Chains A and B, each alone.
Chain A
């Protein structure tokens, strides 16, 4: 009976296979050019909401449809490219920032873009805190239009690093449309009007399609006429989509990428530029971990190269205790701090540091002082199997030298609330960082980012407090002088080495796959003009503007 049933199914399947052959990827555009399919698995269907201020929908609109005042490239030392603003200037002891707004730019509905739109956008954020995802109004006091093409930003204190958020992260929206939106938080903005090179032309839960804006203000860019982003519910199918050559631009984690993807087709390649650190956050309020020698011993006891190889297929390179992501931010690296740190993996030094501090190996092979063993639990995000594997390797290394580590993979949602609330001994996690190392250092070390154990801290999860470091960070925030900035960053690196408030383990990378036989213009290590991963806003829009179809 069941045999027959199976046979019937097979026949049905066969019939359907033949019928599905007519289905290809979406139809070619009117120009005859093949559309570019993006591969960006999010595990959900598309909401078709394009509100550029909400983190749930901004990844699908900022950079492509909506643009920012400037483009700031993290991979080129925070290089500023004028975008909707043609120029900017600091004045009034770095408390006033004046943008000159570009002329000749049009919204995609044909109306002209002006300085009034910029002033309107920022005042909209002031009026609606739910939209102010970058908290720019925590440092702004006013934003006003001045003359026909200038907008003046007044800050409550000198806040130079906020330039990145104000100029590089806040998308500018048209006043003539948004002033009529009754509730800008809950309005899905299903037909976004921006200044960008691409117009969202069709959205279904299964696919978002963009077409090039023929009147784009930067002539010669946006040569790919049609861009599709299918919704993938699983990493499996998304990876297969790349491997079978249906997509030429992906942002996927692929195990065994060389055989699975690169070898499949000429032109396939990948580049994983590092942008931040994945680190161990020692809870500084926990006995043992509040001891500098123990933290340093942990840092020296980690064979980062081996963690990288086993836990991450070598995709994420080993990090440095100085906290500087190499090679991306190598120009910030302090040779003094590097020298003080010495070899990053030095188990003998780790042991001698502990012995010097009064610890002795007990009968179980664990260092202990006054009967208190160095035994800690590290929590990691249970949703990321690569992180768990990395921590298993790291835990075994440290346990071997006498610091007993237990790995506790915590369910994703629980993990974040535990990290925020400081309910951990050691936590393995990543900060957002920014276009220069300062941003990650500030997130790590600024005491105002922290909170008492039990209440949520947005960053500084280890609860580090140092008036000297706060002063350095404030001083950096008040200067535009590059030499001063470098000197401050060097001092902070020395503190990272000497106090080890955070223990960087690996470098977080951008996931990026491409086929450069089908399209030219992708960012490369030699020309890293934007962060290449499809989830970086507004960078991915900048990349799409620069792609050119070959053939």
Chain B
């Protein structure tokens, strides 16, 4: 219990830090969204409109730093994220809610898949020390994990979409399809998600394989595993229930820790595929200098990672009796 309370405390501190960073970044830096909004209109809008935009966006509203800090914290905690500038006057929360399901579906599923498959492969590789998997997977994935995620995406686009024509080049769905809950549209979504999901899977899986393999190697050498083997338990049972379970614990923490990294890569994958999720929206917001949207997205991603870490902490506590008793 104490362990979980401590972790909860940590979660709150990290959250507060993210909020504070988020508050101060824009205030320390120059920039005027009205000007970049004009840039987006590419000269089709009367140049005097910039004055009206500045008024509409509330630029040049002077307020004390401390009071606006508390107002900001209060607003954020109440889910009041302000209005998006590029989608003005649509609230940021609406824009985010549109993008969220796409990212949850694509990044969420492929990250969990990557973790499960990678962990399993790593465990098997270590169990059969010197086997084919053990000799091939680590070096192969060392190399692959050093590739830029987005470039793997470009490669997939070029090979599977442009050269072979198996998959669509871009997007989360056929842009002109009727949006409805029927098999046609769901199939369309799945069809569009294959390449980006494959990209995320391919680049994230290596880390899990390597850490799991390395944990397993240490665990397999432990006495209780040798003991289990000596007792003549089925190898499969020893692999998953004795060694695997214990080797998984550090990997779970690793999962939480590197989740931020995976999400970073996924942002670029979404960008490459024009996938309408949070990452793509974030980069769109950057291009349009839509600061409220940008910051809210950063905050949302941070919260997601922190919550995932906390969940993995809970899982660790459940799986590992030691953390439950000691602090």
Contacts and interface: CB of A to CB of B under 8 A. Distances in A.
Direct contact, A vs B (beta carbon within 8 Å) = yes
Interface of A: 9-10, 12-13, 15-17, 19-20, 22-23, 25-27, 37, 43-45, 47-49, 51, 54-57, 59, 129-135, 138, 165, 169, 185-188, 204-207, 228, 230-234, 236-237, 241, 246, 276, 381, 383, 412-413, 415-417, 420, 429-432, 443, 449, 456, 458-459, 508, 535-536
B43 A56 contact: no
Given A20-B188, A237-B169, A416-B38, 6 more contacts: A45-B276, A49-B90, A133-B52, A134-B46, A237-B274, A432-B43
B181 interface: no
Given A26-B178, A458-B47, A45 B35 contact: no
Interface in B25-71: 31-32, 35-39, 41-53, 55-56
A44 B88 CA distance: 13
Contact of A25 (B55, B176, B276): B176
Interface centre among B177, B188, B198 (most CB of A within 10 A): B177
A234 B289 CA distance: 18
Given A17-B191, A26-B178, A431 B89 contact: no
Contacts of B167: 13
Contacts of B98: 45, 205
A17 B165 CA distance: 11
A45 B277 CA distance: 11
B87 A55 contact: no
B47 A416 contact: no
A207 B176 contact: yes
Contacts of A188: 89-90
A535 B40 CA distance: 12
Given A55-B37, A459-B47, A185 B178 contact: no
B20 to A, nearest CB: 25
Nearest to B285: A44
B88 A22 contact: no
Contacts of B190: 12, 16
Given A47-B90, A233-B170, A234-B170, A22 B184 contact: yes
B250 to A, nearest CB: 26
B121 to A, nearest CB: 9
B43 A13 contact: no
A469 B88 CA distance: 38
B223 interface: no
A10 B50 CA distance: 51
Given A10-B166, A233-B171, A535-B44, A57 B88 contact: yes
B135 interface: no
A432 B45 contact: yes
B55 A413 contact: no
B174 interface: yes
B89 A186 contact: yes
B184 A23 contact: yes
Most interface-central of A45, A57, A231, A383 (chain B CB within 10 A):
A45
Given A48-B90, A233-B276, A416-B35, A228 B176 contact: yes
A458 B177 CA distance: 41
B45 A44 contact: no
Interface of B: 31-32, 35-39, 41-53, 55-56, 83-90, 95, 98, 166-167, 169-171, 173-179, 183-185, 187-188, 190-191, 194, 198, 274, 276, 280, 284, 287-289
19 contacts: A9-B166, A9-B194, A13-B191, A20-B174, A23-B188, A57-B89, A134-B48, A135-B49, A165-B46, A204-B179, A230-B175, A233-B274, A237-B274, A412-B36, A429-B43, A430-B43, A432-B43, A443-B47, A458-B48
Contacts of B187: 15-16, 19-20
Nearest to B164: A10
Between B41, B175, B289, the greatest number of chain A beta carbons within 10 A of the residue's beta carbon is seen for: B175
A23 B177 contact: yes
Contacts, number: 187
A542 B48 CA distance: 25
A23 B191 CA distance: 13
B235 to A, nearest CB: 21
Nearest to B48: A135
A275 to B, nearest CB: 10
A181 to B, nearest CB: 12
B110 to A, nearest CB: 13
Contacts of A133: 45-46, 48-49, 52-53
B35 A456 contact: yes
Nearest to A2: B202
Nearest to A510: B44
A322 B114 CA distance: 64
A135 B46 contact: yes
A417 B35 contact: yes
A232 B32 CA distance: 26
Q: Which 7 A-B pairs have the closest CB atoms?
A: A130-B56, A19-B187, A16-B191, A47-B87, A413-B36, A133-B49, A135-B48
A26 B185 CA distance: 12
Contact of A131 (B52, B90, B176): B52
B90 to A, nearest CB: 5
Contacts of B184: 19-20, 22-23
A12 B174 contact: no
A430 B41 CA distance: 11
Nearest to B50: A458
Contacts of B52: 129-133, 135
Contact of B87 (A56, A187, A432): A56
Contacts of B37: 55-56
B47 A130 contact: no
A129 B56 CA distance: 8
A59 B41 CA distance: 10
A44 B285 CA distance: 10
A508 B49 contact: no
Contacts of A234: 170-171, 274
A26 B183 CA distance: 16
Given A412-B36, A416-B38, A134 B194 contact: no
B252 to A, nearest CB: 25
A381 B287 CA distance: 13
Given A9-B194, A231-B175, A234-B170, A412 B87 contact: no
Contacts of B88: 47, 49, 54, 56-57
Contacts of A37: 176
Given A47-B90, A129-B55, A412-B39, A12 B47 contact: no
B268 to A, nearest CB: 15
A49 B280 CA distance: 21
A141 B276 CA distance: 47
Residue from the set A27, A59, A206 with the largest chain B CB neighbour count within 10 Å:
A206
Nearest to A449: B47
Nearest to A418: B35
Contacts of B175: 206, 230-233, 237, 241
A26 B176 contact: yes
A187 B274 CA distance: 29
Contacts of A131: 52, 56
B39 A416 contact: yes
A12 B276 contact: no
B269 to A, nearest CB: 15
A206 B176 CA distance: 8
Interface centre among B39, B183, B276, B287 (most CB of A within 10 A): B39
Given A26-B178, A443-B47, A459-B47, A233 B280 contact: yes
A16 B55 contact: no
Contact of B171 (A129, A132, A237): A237
A210 to B, nearest CB: 15
A542 B201 CA distance: 50
Contacts of A535: 44
B282 to A, nearest CB: 13
Contacts of A16: 187-188, 190-191, 194
Nearest to A164: B46
